[in-house]
Amino acid sequence: NKFHEAKLWPNPSDESFRINPGHDNLYLIKIFDINGRMIKEESAVNETIIMVNEMENGLYLVELHDTESKMISYSKIIVQHK
């Protein structure tokens, strides 16, 4: 697996955002706040929707990991509620 940046949109996000990992394999999504605390963890295959309506406004780090726990993508998302 090569390291790449997954597609995340919309960014900034209000209620939810989509992740397209660029492959069809099972992967794990980990979302961290700027202090390094894990806020959310989900597994998915293909494109998926992540709900952020209960997260506070701010910058978050989104990591995608393969089934062997290797990080395959690292992105940033801004949550900005209207």
Other C-beta atoms lying within 10 Å of the C-beta of residue 60: 21
pLDDT at residue 69 greater than cutoff 90: no
The answer to whether the pTM exceeds 0.85 is: yes
Contact 31, 60 (CB under 8 A): yes
If residue 38 lies in a helix (H) or strand (E), which one and from where to where? strand 38-45
Residue 72 CA from chain centroid, whole number: 12
Which pLDDT value is given to residue 2?
A: 57
Using only C-alpha atoms, the chain has a radius of gyration, in whole angstroms, of 12
Question: Which is higher by pLDDT, 37 or 1?
Answer: 37
Contact 45, 35 (CB under 8 A): no
